[in-house]
Amino acid sequence: MTEAHLLKQALRSVVSGQAKANACAYRPGWHLAPPVGLLNDPNGFVQHNGRYHLFYQWNPLACAHGAKFWGHWSSLDLVNWRHEPLALAPSEEYESHGCYSGSAVVDKQHLTLIYTGNVKYANGSRTAFQCLARENADGEFDKIGPVLNLPLGYTGHVRDPKVWQHDGQWFMVLGAQSLDLQGKILLLQSPDLLTWQSLGEIAGSGLNGLGEFGYMWECPDLFRLAENDVLICCPQGLTAEPHRYLNTFQSGYFVGELDYQRGEFPHGEFNELDLGFEFYAPQTTLSEDGRRLMIGWMGIPDGDEFYQPTVEQGWIHTLTCVRELTLWAGKVIQRPARELQRLRGEKQTWSGTAQQAPHWDITHAEVEIDTDQPFSAQFGEALALVWDGEWLTLTRINRRTNQPETRFWHGALRQLTVLCDSSSIEIFINQGEAVMSSRYFPTLPARLTLAGSEQIALSYWPLANCMIE
């Protein structure tokens, strides 16, 4: 299909579906959601001349995965966003089954997108090309085409290029599946973004002392953080354990040191980035003021997603809030980006026993809970959080199976910051030592109900909606 035809189809879908999507009570107040259709991974997160650009995997035509487009938002402050013209549509043969995930860099003052052209064949096989598109003077993206074919030794699952500059050269990490069906991360180098030379596998299942660790690793990101290198990736195929790897697919990181000459990345253990029900495919960028910012998809591609009630309203999924990353004692710490404090309304505080706490409206709110004593919290009727002095557990009813499902954190609790939107909760534990992110669909307006006979101190801010032009 020609690009013009695809763009017309997308536009028609937005025009005819937007009013219904906007009327949905679960539409977020201050998180990013697609105008209509399905959103998945954040892509091409970058700041250029002060303005943040954030692209996203988007099927504007249905609440289904399929031949993905790249949607595009921009913002000066990470709070107020503007819709930009659709950036990429899967119009060419080398991307016939989707302009899949990738990243953005600024090359000679031009915003440049590096993404995966996904191609599927009638016999069920597939191939992938890593492709380039450059912004022109009209703010549109001109496709340059494939700059890297499928490397030898891998299946057609090679995707999600994340590119950065180091010592005057470009480097790329790529998610890959080897022919023996092991998930890997490849490192490549280029002088000009157009020709790429492989430096080999830097991490993966069976490498760097890791045993079998998944059949495919998606969405890598590699960056410097406090004198270390952090590799983020999303391994698929990890076996669930009683208290971890409980989602269908995982998203986590390794801390190590990348040897650019040898193409080696000795690293420590894998840690999950988020312990909630919905978090996947995060991407980071370095802001112009030197902060490492991350945003993720508050979703998992596991089929359970389609039981979410927003599907009836013609849209599905949101992104997480933007988070600032730091490293402490070898662990990635995540805090809500400081810009989000601009959404706060008047602060209220309260202290006393948990069961006497006010039933604040948490439809759009931030709640801080200071205690190390046992208590439980009910978010609407849809999510229950229990701290028993040792384990923090988050429980909800799975919408497909109708059975309870639980996620866990173990440690010494001191403080929780809970960011609430009309259909999501992000729980930051001990100032970002761990995070639990989840979509939820309570009766609205949702109220907070605490229980427990111990003393607790609370702060509460209503949150304003973010502006989307």
Residue numbers annotated as active site: 41
CB of 26 to ligand FRU, least distance (A): 21
100 binds ligand FRU (CB under 6 A): yes
Residue 130 binds ligand FRU, judged by CB under 6 A: no
Q: What x/- string results for residues 45 through 64 when contact with ligand FRU is judged by CB under 6 A?
A: ------------x-------
Asked if 421 touches ligand FRU (CB under 6 A), the answer is: no
- Contact region with ligand FRU (CB under 6 A), list: 96-104, 148-156, 357-365, 415-423: 96-104
Q: Does 104 bind ligand FRU (CB under 6 A)?
A: no
Q: Min. distance of Cβ 40 from ligand FRU in angstroms?
A: 5
- Residues 312-371 touching ligand FRU, rule: CB under 6 A, are none
Q: Which of 39, 41, 44, 54 binds ligand FRU (CB under 6 A)?
A: 41
Cα-based distances in Å from 394 to 41, 89, 282: 24, 39, 22
Least distance to ligand FRU from the beta carbon of 175, Å? 6
Strands 216-225 and 197-204: unpaired
CA 163-34-435 angle, 5° bins: 65
Question: 204 to 263, contacts with ligand FRU by CB under 6 A?
Answer: 218-219
Closest to ligand FRU by CB, 126 or 243 = 126
Q: What is the token pair recorded at 311?
A: 């599907």
With binding defined as CB under 6 A, does residue 132 bind ligand FRU? no
**The one among 111, 281, 325, 332 contacting ligand FRU by CB under 6 A:** 281
101 binds ligand FRU (CB under 6 A): yes
160 contributes a contact to ligand FRU by CB under 6 A: yes
Query: Is the CB of 141 or the CB of 280 nearer to ligand FRU?
Result: 280
Token pair for 189: 């180098």
Instruction: Pick the stretch among 79-87, 95-103, 353-361, 374-382 that binds ligand FRU (CB under 6 A).
Output: 95-103
Residues forming contacts to ligand FRU in the complex (CB under 6 A) are 40-41, 57, 68, 98, 100-101, 116, 159-160, 218-219, 280-281, 301
